Amino acid sequence: MNKVGNDEIKKLFDQKPFDYPKPTTLIKRLLEIATQKDSLILDFFSGSATSADAVMQLNAEDGG
């Protein structure tokens, strides 16, 4: 749900700098499905760093 992404971004900023923020939980789940423990992830847009946050969370969980 996009509401989750909006709630996450509101915790970080006083305003909403992005119109359609992706929820970290969505990106994290997609990474779990589509990657292996030693996969390299490239986030070449890195607007709100949602992908980077999801990757760091997964690395913390599995020691990757």
Whole-angstrom Cα distance, residue 61 to residue 58?
5
- Answer yes or no: pTM beyond 0.95: no
**pLDDT tens sequence across 2-16:** 788 888 888 888 787
**pLDDT tens sequence across 14-57:** 787 877 888 899 999 999 999 988 899 998 887 778 899 999 99
Tokens 């499905």 belong to residue: 33
Residue length of the chain: 64
- Residue 37 CA neighbour count, 13 Å, CB half: 5
